Amino acid sequence: MIPVPDALKIIEREVFPLAAETIDLNKSIKRVLAEDIFADMDLPPFDRSQMDGFAVRAADTNPFPVKLKIIGESVAGKGFEGKLEKGEAVRIMTGARVPLGADAVQKIELIVENDGFIEIKEPAKIKQNIIKRGEEIRKEAKIFEKGEVISENMIAALASFGYAKVEVFKQPKIAILATGSEIVGISSVPRKDQIRNSNSSMIEVFAKKIGAETEVLTLVEDNIDNLKSAIAKALENSDVLIITGGVSVGDYDYTKPALRQLGAEIFFEKVSLKPGKPTVFAKLNDRIVFGLPGNPVSVAVTFYLFVRTAILLMQSAKNSKAQKGFAIASGKIKGAKERDSYLPVSVETNKKGQLVIESLRFSGSSNFIEFARANALAFVPEGKTFEKGDVVNISFLS
């Protein structure tokens, strides 16, 4: 049995990075940048007005009241071309270029306009309501780095610097194979002794969320020959195979025997982890294979801890680990005696703004109805029980 951090080290060592490709910006969400991103222009590209009003020389407005002559206008997309001299003002709109000679913008609300002149009700200060050229970002500044995951919030920045296409690391192709003679498809009505396949849909969504391309394979019953041919076929066309079920030591648990008979190298098959102890990590024909214990909560926990890391590392992501933090236990949280526990919990912010853990009721590890409300894993070292008020390490499930 190996500790979770050791298992992660093995995964880090064994996964292979994928090549890069160029794709459309609008298809790039969740993908990992394979290039550094630079500003190709100053922003703003000219001194820009933040207000509708008049561009003036601040010195002309003090002492006040003062009368200034309107000599033209500067609108967005077509700035005033001349130069503003002493005693003059240029009408200006939000987003327009501040004319040469002006050093402040006074907002329209503080101005009375009359017969080609304006009267200013309040003096303007130098630079007031102006964003200077390059103040937001300078041309050639690096804005994002290779290895960052492209998020929705990065799109505006990428678009404004002309990245209609971006270079990203290729998507790992993930094949998902649920095994078990009791498992039927989700559109079926299970007969006696049967249950629906909740794992494949869940893994598909988890994997897509971190940039992978997925294929859900036909279910395989607990039959070693069928399992062997399904595994061999799955690996022809994928980088990673995720098998669920059949990883324990029961009479009909064929995942490990099938992998061994096909010549796979198994790096670990028992992790000091609850839930998820019999997790298998192997390689076959240079492809990655995970065998996850079949019950859906174990699948979710082991996916977040191990598979997610592997998929992100294959895309050369800088952050392949879940975001960590601390939260306060709102009640007793009991760990396992001989294994570290990573328990799905619901973490919320209390009235004081503190993160508080609400334990979820797990009857064994099979309660995926409770799991549906989880947003973090609470780490409970082996043999440890946390009491109300204790501070607990958590990793966010996102």
Q: Can you give the binding site for ligand AMP, defined by CB under 6 A?
A: 178, 180, 182-183, 195, 197-199, 244-248, 293-296
Which residue's Cβ lies closest to ligand AMP? 294
Picking from 168, 66, 78, the residue whose alpha carbon sits closest to that of residue 89 is 66
User: Could you tell me what percentage of the chain is helix, strand and coil, using 3-state DSSP and rounding each to the nearest 5?
Assistant: 20, 35, 45
Report the nearest approach of ligand AMP to the CB of residue 254 (Å): 9
- Report how many residues bind Mg ion under the rule CB under 5 A: 3
The correct pick among 53, 79, 99, 180 for binding Mg ion (CB under 5 A) is 180
211 lies in the site for Mg ion, by CB under 5 A: no
At residue 313, φ and ψ (nearest 5 deg) are: -65, -35
Picking from 306, 331, 313, the residue whose alpha carbon sits closest to that of residue 395 is 306
Report the nearest approach of Mg ion to the CB of residue 216 (Å): 18
Q: Are 102 and 48 in contact, with CB atoms under 8 Å apart?
A: no
Q: CA-CA distance, 116 to 56, in Å (whole number)?
A: 15
Stretch that binds Mg ion, among 138-146, 243-251, 315-323, 371-379 (CB under 5 A): 243-251
CA angle 131–133–139, rounded 5-degree value: 130
Q: CA-CA distance, 111 to 370, in Å (whole number)?
A: 62
Task: CB nearer to ligand AMP: give 293 or 344.
Answer: 293
Which of the listed partners (Mg ion, ligand AMP, none) does 199 bind, with a CB threshold of 5 to 8 Å by partner kind? ligand AMP
Q: CA-CA distance, 281 to 203, in Å (whole number)?
A: 16
Which of the listed partners (ligand AMP, Mg ion, none) does 178 bind, with a CB threshold of 5 to 8 Å by partner kind? ligand AMP
Which of the listed partners (ligand AMP, Mg ion, none) does 247 bind, with a CB threshold of 5 to 8 Å by partner kind? ligand AMP
291 lies in the site for Mg ion, by CB under 5 A: no
Helices marked H in 3-136 — which ranges? 4-14
Task: CB nearer to Mg ion: give 292 or 333.
Answer: 292
Stretch that binds Mg ion, among 103-111, 152-160, 240-248, 311-319 (CB under 5 A): 240-248
Task: CB nearer to ligand AMP: give 299 or 357.
Answer: 299
Q: Are 98 and 48 in contact, with CB atoms under 8 Å apart?
A: yes
Residues 314-343 that bind Mg ion (CB under 5 A): none
